Amino acid sequence: MDDVDAVQAQIARNMLTSGDWTTARLDGVPYLEKAPLIYWAIAISYAIFGIHDWSARIPIALSAVALAALTAYFAAWAFGRRAALYAGLCVGTCIGLFLFTRILIPDVMLTATITLAMLAFLRVMDEEEPQPRAWAAILAASFGVGLLLKSLVSVVFPAGAAIVYLAVTHQLLSARTWKRLHPVSGALIALVIAAPWHILATLRNPPYFAFTIHSGPGQYHGFLWFYFMNEQVLRFLNLRYPRDYNTVPRFYFWAFHLAWLFPWSVYFPAVLKLSFRPVDRAGRTRLLALCWALFVLVFFSFSTTQEYYSMPIYPALALLLGSAMATESAWVKWGTRALALIAAAAAVACFALIYMVRHVPTPGDISNALSQHPGAYTLALGHMLDLTLDSFAYLRLPLAMAGIAFLAGAVGMILLRGQQRVAFAICVMMVLFFHAARVAMVTFDPFLSSRPLADVILRSPQGRLIMGDQYYTYSSIFFYTGQDALLLNGRYFNLEYGSNAPGAANVFIDDANFKQLWDQPSRYYAIADHAQMPHFKELLGGGELNIMATSGGKLLLTNHPLAYSRFETQPVFGR
């Protein structure tokens, strides 16, 4: 997909093909804001399976499976096998994990390292643990790996949760606590894992030090300053430049977890009946899970947030939900009844939508029926606001599949007896629903991705590409064509800082440059939005402007007609 999905995949590709595994680059411009481990994992997948969109997703898919297995192992150690089953299923089939692993972001990997750190911490502190030193080393190693995934939050979250837990249990100032944790040797282990890349990236992207907290247009202070000061400190304070992000209102950030943990979130009331007293392993685990979840939520209540930022608390909530479900209390039974009603209502809604759009035509692709809310697109779910009633006509098949899934789940929850059988019915419902969602995403492909236009470019005569906006807008073009491009009026947001680095590729052009290039005998292709056409017509005057293809509201243009080719260009105007 366009935006961050194709960006991550292309960075990994550039690392593999260039041999530079230290500095991420896009279109020849240093991209210094993110840690490298996700790029390395994708690049290794490319090396094994080839460079494909599906091979780019293998590390994320494996990480999701590993997270569910790790959560189940954690719950088995703390609560027993039945709770382990429920906790693992909760993480593996919740809406949030499915939704936020559709894009290539490292958060599921980060969540796995934090979960491992929390497990290791409790194992270190457990008096009955036969190998506390080994678990202390695992704790430190998880910090080191996390630093290569998402920098400081990978340490701040588990360390902060552990400190709160130790304070609540009156162990924070105990010499025995720190003796068991081995902080000095642990710090060395974390540094051995994480420091080499940070040092090498700093040396390759000078200046090494910049004593300022100011960030602005045209300024370049090297890797170290941008990566730590701009991306960590100033982002937390909402002072980062460029400000290419938005934030979720605090209430919704907290409340959305009812959706992210759905369908298992219906069992949250049963969690309130659990004991959090740290008198046994189960109580200590519940207390740590509570500290873990609250610390992350409170942390982001004082910072800028995106919907997926709280993914690291999913395992903590799953541990609590799994523990509650294993009790099979009256609250659990009421939760199942509520979920059956929700599933039945969702099934009715799906079939009602199908009926309401039964006569609605579906010309072209789904972009023809969507509204536009550009101001919301910096949020992960911003495009949900674009849905209209007519757009559901393009989604008849996935709506039917989702309706069947919810209906099957509702029937299963009503007829089956025993929490394990109910959990099986819930899982079947969610697997079918996720398949419906996948089919829906195929329908959205022309809108979310520029792949159809990239396919046309690959079958066309050779020419230079020009993107009519910043890199992220049409980023899948770069991935699917394997070509670099010029960026028209696109020197802002993510590539702005790196564009000021010494040796950065000069790929940014303005309107005057574009007109000069477009009038040359050489062939150029331009990717633009429909809304840009009046500007192009005014800019080029009587120059050639030929439409080669349209997809998802985007246009592929060329400056010379394609005579005697398989494509019939549509001249907007020309000489």
- The answer to whether the beta carbons of residues 160 and 152 sit under 8 Å apart is no
**Calpha distance 405→393 (Å, rounded):** 19
The pLDDT of residue 319: 98
* pLDDT value for 565: 44
Q: Comparing C-alpha atoms, which of 252, 374, 253 is closest to residue 3?
A: 374
Instruction: Read off the pLDDT of residues 306-355 as tens digits, 9 standing for 90 and up.
Output: 899 999 999 999 999 999 999 999 999 999 999 999 999 999 999 999 99
Calpha distance 392→200 (Å, rounded): 51
Kind and range of the H or E run holding 549: strand 545-551
Question: For residue 570, what pLDDT band results from cuts at 50, 70 and 90?
Answer: low
Q: How far apart are CA 491 and CA 499, in angstroms?
A: 8
Dihedral in degrees, nearest 10, Cα atoms 389, 390, 395, 400: 60
pLDDT at residue 564 is higher than 50 = no
Could you give phi then psi for residue 276, rounded to 5 degrees? -110, 15
Instruction: Name residues whose C-beta falls within 8 Å of residue 81's C-beta, 6 or more positions apart in sequence.
Output: none
Is the CB of residue 530 less than 8 Å from the CB of residue 469? Answer: no
- Collapsing DSSP to helix, strand or coil, 130 comes out as coil
Q: Which residue has the higher pLDDT, 575 or 279?
A: 279
Helix axes of 281-301 and 314-327: crossing angle, nearest 10 degrees: 140
CB atoms inside a 10 Å sphere around CB 209: 10
Q: 255: burial class by Cβ within 10 Å (0-12, 13-18, 19+)?
A: exposed
Q: Which residue would you say has higher pLDDT here, 217 or 377?
A: 217
Q: What is the largest CA-CA distance in the chain?
A: 84
Q: How far apart are CA 118 and CA 130, in angstroms?
A: 18
pLDDT band at 272 (very low <50, low <70, confident <90, very high): very high
List, in order of start, the domains of the chain with CATH numbers: 57-327 (no CATH), 338-442 (no CATH), 451-573 (3.40.50)
Average pLDDT over residues 390-417: 97
Reading the block at residue 321, the tokens are 């939900």
Q: Give residue-wise pLDDT tens across range 452-474.
A: 999 999 999 999 999 999 999 99
- Tens-place pLDDT, residues 232-271: 888 888 888 887 777 888 898 999 999 999 999 999 999 9
pLDDT at 304: 81
pLDDT over threshold 60, residue 373 = yes
Q: What is the pLDDT of residue 380?
A: 66
Contact 93, 431 (CB under 8 A): yes
523-535 tens-digit pLDDT? 999 999 999 999 9
10 Å Cβ neighbour count for 291? 23
Of the chain, the end-to-end C-alpha distance in Å amounts to: 36
User: Residue 371 gets which letter from DSSP?
Assistant: -
Characterize 437-472 residue by residue with b for buried, 16 or more Cβ atoms within 10 angstroms of its Cβ, and e for exposed: bebbeebbbbbbbbbbbbebbeebeebbbbbbbbbb
- Is the pLDDT at 482 greater than 70, yes or no? yes
Kindly report the three-state secondary structure assignment for every residue of 43-84: HHHHHHHCCCHHHHCHHHHHHHHHHHHHHHHHHHHHCCHHHH
CA distance 214 to 359: 57
Q: Which residues of 138-172 are buried (b: 16+ CB within 10 A; e: fewer)?
A: bbbbbbbbbbbbbbebbbbbbebbbebbbeebeee
Look at residue 563 in the predicted model and tell me its pLDDT. 65
What is the Rg, in whole angstroms, of the alpha carbon atoms belonging to the chain?
Answer: 26
Residue 355, H or E segment: helix 330-356
224: Cβ contacts below 8 Å, ≥ 6 apart: 198, 201, 202, 205, 208, 209, 210
- What's the token pair of residue 278? 């740290």
pLDDT in tens, 52-102: 999 999 999 999 999 999 999 999 999 999 999 999 999 999 999 999 999
| Residue type, position 483, single letter | Q
Specify the pLDDT at position 43: 98
Spatial separation of the C-alpha atoms in residues 39 and 317, rounded to whole Å: 29
